[in-house]
Amino acid sequence: MPHVPNFSQAQTVLAPMEGLTDSVMRDVLTSIGQYDWTVSEFIRVTQTILPAHVFYKFVPELQHSGELHGENLQGKTRHGVPVHIQLLGSNPELMAGNAIKAVELGALAIDLNFGCPAKTVNNHRGGSVLLTEPDTVYQIIKAVRDAVPSHTPVSAKIRLGYEDTSLTQEIGDAVQAANASWLTIHARTKTQGYKPPAYWELIAPLTERLTLPIIANGEIWTLEQAQRCREQANTIHVMLGRGAVTRPDLVNQVKSADRGDNVASLSWQQLLALQLAFLHGNAKSDNMLVGRYKQWLGMLTQGYDEAQTLWQAIKKLKTTDAIIEQLTQTI
């Protein structure tokens, strides 16, 4: 069954981040995080309908079987959190064809990437460069929307613009006219990249202008920032990116605050258990898993002083076994 969010309640989403939130990281973060859903790393669409193994490589959750709490786990993490499949490309027909393929393989929802700022992607007319062409954005979303079953959500993720914000409203109008199910907005332009600050207040005019649900994204590292983002963007829905990786319990802090509860911060000992789970995850190679882990530990140093000490201890280690042994000694 497709995953159709309940936007009458605040939705908190784990962002797609290339080279960071792969299936191993999604599994770890959703093991403790109360996410409403997560979005896959983008699957690049160029010249053909991709074979099944490409989709399974990026979203192995499509092959999950069994049930959790009476619900089918296909297309979800092992902890029952839906994974929406994100596609990136510029050809409406090919994007539609690959969306159909994804749904046939069990995709619960389709997300379309118009926000990636990577130069290589933009040079090949993908990602945020398409924000200079609102009509192309419309054509892609409409083609996908018309191609997949009406009950399968089709959403879009954008930035405020490419070099500036002059087309922000036109882009938003194009997304809505194409009948997207909702819109996620990273509150910076492509040119601004990931440099602070994020301009949450520039999302508000779209929230007021459009009738489809808006999810705000960008520079949310703390609960206080999540609350300010919501207020300034005029939406209750947020997507957490690097802040969620740096503070794996950030989503729970947001959800608890919504309920009027207090939640204890994730302790370093609890986080060590998550790190061990990550290191036991399935990866293409040991070298890749080691590289991904060191990347994550480097980010954790922003939220935990203990991570800096651990980094000094493992930075020269080259195998997961050696790193696991070091972590085990610290527990």
What residues are paired with 240 via a beta bridge? 14
Instruction: Evaluate whether 157 touches 86 at the Cβ level (below 8 Å).
Output: yes
Q: Give the tokens for residue 2.
A: 């497709």
Query: How many angstroms separate the CA atoms of 285 and 282, rounded?
Result: 8
Share of the chain above pLDDT 70, in %: 100
Rounded distance between C-alpha atoms, residue 74 and residue 2, angstroms: 11
pLDDT for 282: 83
**Catalytic residue (one of 116, 174, 229, 271):** 116
Q: Are 146 and 101 in contact (CB under 8 A)?
A: no
Would you call 229 a catalytic residue per the annotation?
Answer: no
pLDDT category at 281 given cuts 50, 70, 90 is confident
pLDDT band at 263 (very low <50, low <70, confident <90, very high): confident
**Alpha-carbon torsion 22, 27, 31, 36, what sign?**
positive
Q: Classify strands 214-217 and 237-240 as parallel, antiparallel or unpaired.
A: parallel
Quote the CA–CA distance of 22 and 92 in Å, as a whole number.
Answer: 26
In this prediction, residue 297 carries a pLDDT of 96
- pLDDT category, 283, cuts 50, 70, 90? confident
pLDDT given for residue 264 in this prediction: 79
Dist. CA 327–CA 165, nearest whole Å = 46
**pLDDT tens digits, one per residue of 76-127:** 999 999 999 999 999 999 999 999 999 999 999 999 999 999 888 888 889 9
- Domains and their CATH numbers in the chain: 12-259 (3.20.20.70), 268-330 (1.20.225.30)
The answer to whether the CB of 211 falls within 8 A of the CB of 181 is no
192-198's contacts with Cβ under 8 Å and 24+ in sequence apart are 193/117, 194/117, 194/242, 198/229
Polymer length of the chain: 331
pLDDT score of 93: 98
Flag the least confident range among 146-155, 204-213, 276-285, 297-306.
Answer: 276-285
Tens digit of pLDDT for each residue in 284-309?
789 999 999 999 999 999 989 999 99
CA distances from 271 to 80, 211, 327 (A): 21, 40, 11
Distances (CA, A) of 147 to 34, 75, 96, 206, 237: 32, 20, 6, 27, 27
Q: What predicted TM-score, i.e. pTM, was given to this entire model?
A: 0.96
- What is the DSSP track for 286-324? HHHHHHHHHHHHHHHTTT-HHHHHHHHHHTT--SHHHHH
Give bridge partners of residue 71 from the DSSP assignment: 68
pLDDT digits (tens, 9 = 90+) for 175-197: 999 999 999 999 999 999 999 99
